[in-house]
Amino acid sequence: MIAAGTQSNIEEELPSRTSILVAAVRAFGSREPDENVRNPDSMADLLIGPSELALISDHAVSTALTQDYREASQNPAIVLFAGLMLCRTRFIDESLERAVKKGATQVVILGAGFDTRAYRFGELLKHCRVIEVDAMPTQTYKKRRVREVLQDLPKNLTYCAIDFAKDDLMHGLHRVGFKRDEKTLYIWEGVCMYLPESSVRKMLQTIALHSTSGSTLVLDYANSVGIELGKFTPNSAGGIPTSWAEPWIFGVPGANGSEFFRELGFDPGVPVPAYSPEMVRRYGTRQDGTSYAAHVFEQLQRQAPTPPEVPPIGLLEAQKAVTAAGGVYWFTELTVMSKPLES
């Protein structure tokens, strides 16, 4: 394996380390004793072994996974990250269950990384075609690791290697048996922030144009304010080391992206901001009524540094923009609007 450098991972044949990172965070969250706030992705804990942790050894999550859960849960950065992944996993799991109940027969997981839904939802998906799409190095690594741990791959699962920034999505999907007239759920979890805006637009336009109406796309995304704010807090976005060469570069224009998605052919649904009371109510409330991360919020408030008397002007503006936008990181389920299918 080639060492980390400045080239993109796709060219270097390394698996995406952010894909390992987020799976490691789900693995951590799956060890939570309180089932109300436990990450349902316990399979991530099987897939993330010592070799995978070695690939993210410069991130605190790799240590957290080798520690006692309660001890590691005293680290605010770990808990906030695990809380975000808890909401993300459950929001998308619910979208998957809803889509299949409403008649989706194809599930396309874009930038799948270590996604385990083809396995966790084996029964629900038994009559569906599942296609995992990813860049070749990550997909090759994931397939090998899944075979090592679980031996068999589900019969209804197909893999499709694509570079979203270079290749044509539909061309790749059709090669592996995608049927454009079947209702489809696309999952785009933790991916669009890593892509150039032109690639995000092209992917969304392609999906809107070539999917049967009523197909859905569930995703999480930052807005442009969030990307700007990240420049003031280099350890944001999960503290991804710059040496991994996987920076967040794309944020949707506007507060919650609704207009952006509508222009590209989708009903934007009801975007929900991360860390919002709505998210805590849905996924982050413990059996005793407290919130998942309450203990670290208290800790953070006690330790809050005195703000500089004169904060940098750009930061002040960005903070005002966050308040105006209602958040920087969102989840939504888009629906393909009805239109004549193009050939």
Ligand X SMILES: C[S@@+](CC[C@H](N)C(=O)[O-])C[C@H]1O[C@@H](n2cnc3c(N)ncnc32)[C@H](O)[C@@H]1O
Q: Could you list the residues that contact ligand X (CB under 6 A)?
A: 16, 18-19, 22-23, 111-115, 134-135, 138, 162-165, 189-191, 194-195
Minimum distance from residue 39 beta carbon to ligand X (Å): 12
**Smaller CB separation from ligand X, 186 or 194:** 194
d(CA 264, CA 236): 29
Q: Assess contact for 194 and 220: CB atoms under 8 A.
A: no
Distance of CA 144 to the CA centre of its chain: 22
Q: Assess contact for 88 and 190: CB atoms under 8 A.
A: yes
d(CA 112, CA 239): 21
**Smaller CB separation from ligand X, 121 or 194:** 194
**Smaller CB separation from ligand X, 92 or 229:** 92
Minimum distance from residue 47 beta carbon to ligand X (Å): 10
| Residue labelled with tokens 């930052």 | 222
Minimum distance from residue 220 beta carbon to ligand X (Å): 8
**Smaller CB separation from ligand X, 243 or 287:** 243
- CA distances to 143, 243, 244, 247 from 9, in Å: 17, 11, 8, 12
Q: Following DSSP, what letter does each residue of 158-182 receive, concatenated?
A: EEEE--TTTS-HHHHHHHTT--TTS
In the bound complex, which residue of the shown chain has the CB atom lying closest to ligand X?
Answer: 113
Report the DSSP pairing between strands 157-161 and 129-134: parallel
Report the DSSP pairing between strands 329-336 and 157-161: unpaired
d(CA 138, CA 90): 23
d(CA 38, CA 284): 9
Minimum distance from residue 191 beta carbon to ligand X (Å): 4
CB hemisphere CA count around 233 (13 angstroms)? 15
**Smaller CB separation from ligand X, 228 or 246:** 246
240 C-beta neighbours (distance < 10 Å), count? 20
Minimum distance from residue 304 beta carbon to ligand X (Å): 29
d(CA 253, CA 91): 22
**Smaller CB separation from ligand X, 52 or 318:** 52
Q: Assess contact for 325 and 223: CB atoms under 8 A.
A: yes
Minimum distance from residue 164 beta carbon to ligand X (Å): 4
Minimum distance from residue 165 beta carbon to ligand X (Å): 4
Minimum distance from residue 267 beta carbon to ligand X (Å): 23
**Smaller CB separation from ligand X, 135 or 218:** 135
**Smaller CB separation from ligand X, 114 or 260:** 114
